[in-house]
Amino acid sequence: MDTISLPDPDDGRIETRNIFVHQSLLSSLLVLSMFLWQLLTPLLLITVQTYEAQQCEKFTKLNIGHAIIGTRLTIRLLLYTRENGFCGSLMSHIDMSANSQLNLSRPTTFVIHGFRPTGSPPVWLKDITEGLLARSDINVIVVDWNRGAATSYFKAVENTKKAGANITAFIEMMQNHGASLSSIHLIGFSLGAHISGFIGASLNGSVGRISALDPAGLMFRGTPTHDRLDSTDAQFVDVLHTDSDALGFNEPLGHIDFYANGGKDQPGCPKTIFSGESYFKCDHQRSVALYMDSLTRTCASRAYPCSSYKDFLNGKCLECDQFGAAGCPVFGYDVTEWKDALLKLNQTKTYFTTNPKTPFCMTNYRMDVVIWNRDVHWGYVTVKLHYNGTEAVAKIEHTASEFKKYTETTLLAQFDKDIQRVEKVSLKFSTGNVLKPKQKLRVLRIRLTHLEREQTPLCRYDVLLEENREVTVRPIPCERSSF
Ligand SMILES: *[C@@H]1O[C@H](CO)[C@@H](O)[C@H](O)[C@H]1NC(C)=O
Ligand SMILES: *[C@@H]1O[C@H](CO)[C@@H](O)[C@H](O)[C@H]1NC(C)=O
Ligand SMILES: *[C@@H]1O[C@H](CO)[C@@H](O)[C@H](O)[C@H]1NC(C)=O
Ligand SMILES: *[C@@H]1O[C@H](CO)[C@@H](O)[C@H](O)[C@H]1NC(C)=O
Ligand SMILES: *[C@@H]1O[C@H](CO)[C@@H](O)[C@H](O)[C@H]1NC(C)=O
């Protein structure tokens, strides 16, 4: 634009007049069109922007400055459906007819985030929305309360009840237009779990389901049920605990509570403050990653009812008979298959362990060992399963196990992966005591039973385990009489 200059009438003395006329006409046209373009460009941009805005409504983007100064609560409800191709549309709180893309004959799942200390949009919202829509043809409503969550923690906690009341009003409007409460599922992370609880309580517990991902503990511990999530807030409440000793909540809050790796610390998460920000949030955030694995069916983790994590690791809670043919509940999105059984039990605490990263699920075997040494032996066992160059490892080292003559010791062996056909088994016994002379464990029988798959248990009879020396044997199907 700036570079265009009008031709100088004096510089064309040797040129014909004709050319000059042409040039000046052309230039005038050019100038005119440039002028028009300048005029039109902003208009065009505005149109494009509004078009985009109508097409894809985005989660509120804030920064740490907003969080420090504080933000006032604003609730935006972003709808995602299979038709709108993961492109959000903003729902009206007052006029249902404006929400034409919301099909109330379908189930609706609300996804509710927690405290936002940096104001950034939660990165997992996109994945969970896509995961939910890939599984079922539903309405996914992402609740964007970033303004209200990006502030001090105390203020954010204060906002949870207000946010709950606001979303309740929207759900009541949905109900007035024909939606059924039992087809509503609220998935809440951290503070979002308690918001889900407040919504559920306001709707008399008629909402179909609440899934709470590591419900927040700070300022909620020890409060009465109307000030936090509890199992009366929905027809079915499933809760996952991953950071109950810091940001999460320790006590059971639902019909079923899953304590991943004991519910406090997660494998692969930093154990010291020197790792920076992730030290504070890794365990807490892991709840979302675990739920995602269940949603995408990357793999399934069975969860075992037990009164404590210690008992679970000690192999004392491997019974699943109370759930009949279905077996123990599988953690996550599909736990609704156990809903009826779990409602009868009212409250069930369950445990499972995971790998440090996806695929998170581990493979559990029950290992029964009988020895014939005269004396009692205490120690740790490492088991490896092999097939065609693939190896799965289980270390039973959380506590020293007791082995007694002709007495069956039951251990829980948790492998990092599933070996479809076990060809060889490696065993190693250690006492952890370097000063004492090396011990020998005379194993009369060792039996490995896959806990998640129907198959004949694997046995090996008469193995000598010298301390710290790995022995590899070929297992055989156990004799009928010995299981
Ligand atoms: C919910 O919040 C939105 C935006 O923050 C507001 O426009 C709407 O009126 C609120 N609804 C109720 C019932 O308070
Ligand atoms: C609403 O959803 C139902 C159930 O999936 C479907 O049968 C119906 O065609 C949908 N209506 C519209 C307008 O898309
Ligand atoms: C919940 O119960 C209260 C009191 O019984 C009633 O006023 C209210 O309408 C009920 N709300 C719903 C959504 O059923
Ligand atoms: C079921 O659990 C809830 C919440 O923990 C408790 O208030 C209620 O008394 C229990 N009901 C029965 C029948 O055990
Ligand atoms: C064994 O492993 C190799 C290499 O990973 C693979 O090519 C082969 O198909 C496997 N054989 C069987 C029987 O699984």
Task: Note down the domain range covering 274.
Answer: 56-352
Q: What is the pLDDT of residues 272-323, one digit of tens each?
A: 776 666 777 899 999 999 999 999 999 999 999 999 999 999 999 999 999 9
107 belongs to a structural domain: yes
- Atom 12 in ligand 1: which residue has the minimum CA distance? 166
Q: What is the pLDDT of residues 124-147, one digit of tens each?
A: 999 999 999 999 999 999 999 999
Closest to 458 (Cα-Cα) out of 476, 470, 437: 476
Query: 152 with 201, same domain?
Result: yes
Query: 406 with 474, same domain?
Result: yes
Q: What is the pLDDT of residues 228-240, one digit of tens each?
A: 999 999 999 999 9
Q: Which ligand is nearest to the CA of 239?
A: 4
Distance in angstroms (rounded) separating the CA atoms of residues 379 and 403:
8
Query: 145 with 175, same domain?
Result: yes
- Atom 9 in ligand 5: which residue has the minimum CA distance? 388
Mean predicted confidence (pLDDT) in 445-468: 94
Query: 217 with 110, same domain?
Result: yes
Domains: count for the chain: 3
* pLDDT for 48: 43
Q: Which ligand is nearest to the CA of 105?
A: 2
Query: 48 with 114, same domain?
Result: no
Atom of ligand 4 nearest to the CA of 231: 4
Measuring CA to CA, how many Å separate 17 from each of 11, 24, 28? 12, 11, 16
User: Mean pLDDT of all residues in the chain?
Assistant: 89
Query: 277 with 377, same domain?
Result: no
Question: Is residue 78 packed enough to be buried (19+ CB in 10 Å), middle (13-18) or exposed (0-12)?
Answer: buried
389 Cβ closer than 6 Å to some ligand 5 atom: yes
The side-by-side arrangement of strands in the sheet containing 476-477 is 409-415, 363-371, 440-450, 458-466, 476-477
Catalytic residue among 241, 284, 377, 450: 284
124 belongs to a structural domain: yes
As given in the structure block, the two tokens for residue 444 are: 């009369």
Q: What is the pLDDT of residues 150-166, one digit of tens each?
A: 999 999 999 999 999 99
Mean predicted confidence (pLDDT) in 42-65: 67
Query: 48 with 61, same domain?
Result: no
Active site residue 190: yes
Distance, CA 105 to ligand 2 centroid (Å)?
Answer: 7
Mean predicted confidence (pLDDT) in 189-202: 98
pLDDT bracket for residue 1 (50, 70, 90): very low
Distance in angstroms (rounded) separating the CA atoms of residues 56 and 50:
10
CATH number of domain containing 156? 3.40.50.1820
* pLDDT for 86: 78
Quick check: 30 pLDDT over 60?
A: no
* pLDDT for 3: 39
2 belongs to a structural domain: no
Query: 169 with 312, same domain?
Result: yes
Measuring CA to CA, how many Å separate 271 from each of 75, 278, 284, 447? 36, 10, 13, 35
Query: 228 with 238, same domain?
Result: yes
- When comparing pLDDT for 433 and 162, which is higher? 162
Query: 48 with 62, same domain?
Result: no
**pTM for this prediction:** 0.86
Instruction: Ligand 2 pocket test: pick from 105, 139, 174 the residue with the most ligand atoms within 8 Å of its Cβ.
Output: 105
Query: 320 with 387, same domain?
Result: no
Quick check: 36 pLDDT over 60?
A: no
Residue 262, SS3 per DSSP: coil
